[in-house]
Structure 1
Amino acid sequence: MEKYFDKASRSKQKETTQQKHKRKYKEEYVQYGFIASGPEDNQQPLCIICNKALSNESLVPSKLSRHLEKNHPTFQNKPKGYFANLKSQTNKQAKIMNSYLKLPEKRLIASYKLAHLLAKRKKAHTDAESVIGPALAIVVEEMLGTAAAEKVRGVPLSDNTISRRIEELSSDLKDQVREHSVATDNKLSVLWSLQVDESTDRTGKSHLLAFIRCINNETLENECLFCKELKSTTNGEDIFKLVDENILLSEL
């Protein structure tokens, strides 16, 4: 009987020790395609490729790399920047989902459509909150009443919100461009051409703009692939490196 209690006591102590020494996620683990999930006191590695969560005990490089090699061999030689980009997209999608849950659908759609209009017309983000929103509220109140005007005032139009909406729309456009490069039965759908142009803004900074033309449903489509600053020089080598880096991140 005493041996039984001793064994039970040792087992309990071992379990307590394991609970105290929970492994923590490290930023370097993103190179294996994993991000952190779960509470801080019991983090779990989440694969951003298959969305599978592993146990806390798997938070070691050997087990994470084994999952990548075994389950996703085609991603094994991808650079760390590729997975960092996927992590950023996953975080953005989570934020978008939270905003969907918190806002009524029509107000959310109106916010995105207004952000899209401002971006197309190249207007300042602050115009939405300082001019457009109040103007709409005045018109609606006069024509439809106070209750309708209150609904219009509930549309999120702050400077930060509009800026974030434009970034999300831009990210979605990049995802659409990336989808064109996925292999399909139609060989023409994976073909694309690239055009780049270097320009200087008002502050004297040089930017590289890249435009892509691809075939979608038997029609030609033109999209902006990226606009990045040339931080050092603007010679051919710098331009090639920037284009090559962004093509890899876009999986083209």
Structure 2
Amino acid sequence: MDKFVIHSTGTTSVNEQPKKKSKLNIRRLYHEDYLNIGFSWSGNVDDPRPWCVVCGEKLSNESMVPKTRQSEKMTKIVTISDKTQEASYLVAELVAKQMKPHTIAEKLILPACREIVKVLFGEEAEKEVLKIPISDNTISRRIEHMSEDIEEQVLLQSRDSPLFALQLDESTDISRQAQLLVFIRIVSDEDIVENFLCCKTLPETTKGEDIFEIVDNYLKFANLP
């Protein structure tokens, strides 16, 4: 029977290691949706690297894989990006309230913040301040965006009111251009609320029919009966 039994030769090397399965090298491709969270890409199209458009940091291709340390870092950068955007809007609001030139943010506010943060918290904190977008054009866009949002909120509140009254005021600006200021008074939660509605430039004449036409056109645009 021994001839049918296969005996171990006992010559197996101690240093011989079991073969490991080779790890698949899967490359993630960039998708346009990443731009919604502030990431573009750089490098090879077949091996793209996420690139933060706010701070300029480049991550590895692995960062686009869910539930990895790199993807957590990507999420952290997005959070920082959201904070810089919020700070940018807050600066724009201050500039608008003080009626200062939009260039003051980049020429005075940012340099002052850099020096203060650097002294109190160090150079790393200063680098975070530099990520805040507050250029002249950016501040203008922020103010315009906030103005549109405020106007929409006022219109939504006015449409819910059963009644409203308008108050008109004509004024001339520094360029000797006639401006029509419109205020609206509405009923909100059993209270009388007054809001600034709009400011419209009057044409060459300031007759009653001109004022009526401008107000009528705006009410139609705002869908106010």
TM bucket by the smaller chain?
Answer: 0.5 to 0.7
Paired AA for residue 153 in structure 2: Q
Unaligned 5+ runs, structure 2 = 1-33, 39-53, 55-80
Aligned residues: 150
- Answering whether residue 195 of structure 2 is matched by residue 223 of structure 1, we say yes
* Partner in structure 2 of residue 146 of structure 1: 123
* Partner in structure 1 of residue 219 of structure 2: 247
* Partner in structure 2 of residue 101 of structure 1: 37
* Inter-CA distance 200–190: structure 2 relative to 1 (3 Å threshold): same
Q: What are the superposed Cα offsets for residues 174-214 of structure 1, whole Å, 9 maximum, x if unpaired?
A: 1111212445xxxxx33222111111111111111111222
* Partner in structure 2 of residue 206 of structure 1: 178
* Partner in structure 1 of residue 149 of structure 2: 172
- Answering whether residue 138 of structure 2 is matched by residue 161 of structure 1, we say yes
Paired AA for residue 119 in structure 1: A
Within 5 A, what are the aligned runs for 1:114-133? 114-133=91-110
The answer to whether the 8 Å contact 1:181/1:251 transfers is no
Paired AA for residue 108 in structure 1: Q
Q: What are the superposed Cα offsets for residues 8-43 of structure 1, whole Å, 9 maximum, x if unpaired?
A: xxxxxxxxxxxxxxxxxxxxxxxxxxxxxxxxxxxx
Return the offset for 1:216. 3.3
Residue identity over aligned pairs, in percent, reads: 43
Paired AA for residue 101 in structure 1: I
The answer to whether the 8 Å contact 1:209/1:227 transfers is yes
Unaligned 5+ runs, structure 1 = 1-97, 184-188
The answer to whether the 8 Å contact 2:88/2:139 transfers is yes
The answer to whether the 8 Å contact 2:203/2:210 transfers is no
* Inter-CA distance 202–143: structure 2 relative to 1 (3 Å threshold): same
Distance in structure 1 (CA, Å) of the matches to 2:112 and 2:162: 46
Q: Could you say what the CA RMSD is over the residues aligned between the two structures, in angstroms?
A: 2.0
Q: 1:196 aligns with which of 168, 171, 175?
A: 168
Distance in structure 1 (CA, Å) of the matches to 2:198 and 2:125: 40
Distance in structure 1 (CA, Å) of the matches to 2:193 and 2:84: 30
* Inter-CA distance 220–200: structure 2 relative to 1 (3 Å threshold): same
Q: What are the superposed Cα offsets for residues 101-130 of structure 1, whole Å, 9 maximum, x if unpaired?
A: 335111111111111111111111111111
- In structure 2, the residue corresponding to 1:165 is in which secondary structure? helix
TM-score normalised by structure 2 residue count: 0.62
* Inter-CA distance 108–233: structure 2 relative to 1 (3 Å threshold): same
Return the offset for 1:100. 7.0
Q: What are the superposed Cα offsets for residues 128-161 of structure 1, whole Å, 9 maximum, x if unpaired?
A: 1111111111101110111111111111111111
Larger Rg computed on CA atoms: 2
Q: What are the superposed Cα offsets for residues 31-84 of structure 1, whole Å, 9 maximum, x if unpaired?
A: xxxxxxxxxxxxxxxxxxxxxxxxxxxxxxxxxxxxxxxxxxxxxxxxxxxxxx
- In structure 2, the residue corresponding to 1:170 is in which secondary structure? helix
TM-score normalised by structure 1 residue count: 0.55
* Partner in structure 2 of residue 236 of structure 1: 208
State which drifts further: 166-175 or 214-223: 214-223
Paired AA for residue 211 in structure 2: I
- In structure 1, the residue corresponding to 2:141 is in which secondary structure? helix
* Partner in structure 2 of residue 113 of structure 1: 90
Distance in structure 2 (CA, Å) of the matches to 1:105 and 1:226: 30
- In structure 1, the residue corresponding to 2:118 is in which secondary structure? helix
* Partner in structure 2 of residue 67 of structure 1: none
